[in-house]
Amino acid sequence: MLTKLKLALLLAAPLVAGATTYAVAQGDAPAGKATIQKLDQNGDGTIDDAERAQAKAAFAAKRAARHQQALATYDANKDGTLDATERQAMRDGRLAKRFAALDQNGDGAISLAEFKAGAGGKGGFHRHARHGHGRTHGAGMKP
């Protein structure tokens, strides 16, 4: 039974990925037109291979910069990697920043009013979606 499920998922994944790519390319996805405008450097309305490669390189550079910043901030023993203790310190630091952003009066507690204000009035910080699609941002969270 488990093997059949794995096989079904293995076969379905490329189909879903292809359909999503096609929808974004056609502009049918909610953010399709915005994505094409952002990545379309020559203004022809489509994303060609060169533009796709350029976007991929820009994403990789941005990710590498975030990684270097995390290492500079949290790599206490300066070995070039974050061990479990350093990763926990990074998570604690991020949570502390979010808490501070919600705790508007600085009393060390989050009231219901502060929580509602931080939730942006849309029912919570985020809906479960990957890469920020469909996210509702609260105070202190990245848009």
What mean pLDDT do residues 92-118 have?
A: 90
Of 119 and 109, the structure prediction assigns the larger pLDDT to 109
CB 117 within 8 A of CB 105: no
Q: What pLDDT score was predicted for residue 39?
A: 84
Structure tokens at 8: 């079904």
For the chain, how many structural domains are there in total?
Answer: 1
Q: What pLDDT score was predicted for residue 125?
A: 53
What mean pLDDT do residues 68-88 have?
A: 92
Residue 27, in any domain of the structure: yes
Residue 78, in any domain of the structure: no
Residue 41, in any domain of the structure: yes
Residue 103, in any domain of the structure: no
What domain range includes position 30?
Answer: 1-47
Q: Give the model confidence (pLDDT) of 2-61 as tens digits.
A: 677 777 777 777 776 666 666 656 555 556 778 888 888 888 888 888 888 898 999 999
Closest Cα partner for 75 from 83, 95, 66, 65? 83
Residue 9, in any domain of the structure: yes
d(CA 128, CA 111): 24
Residue 122, in any domain of the structure: no
User: What is the residue whose two structure tokens read 């941005």?
Assistant: 62
Of 143 and 23, the structure prediction assigns the larger pLDDT to 23
Residue 116, in any domain of the structure: no
Q: What pLDDT score was predicted for residue 99?
A: 92
pTM of the model as a whole: 0.48
Residue 6, in any domain of the structure: yes
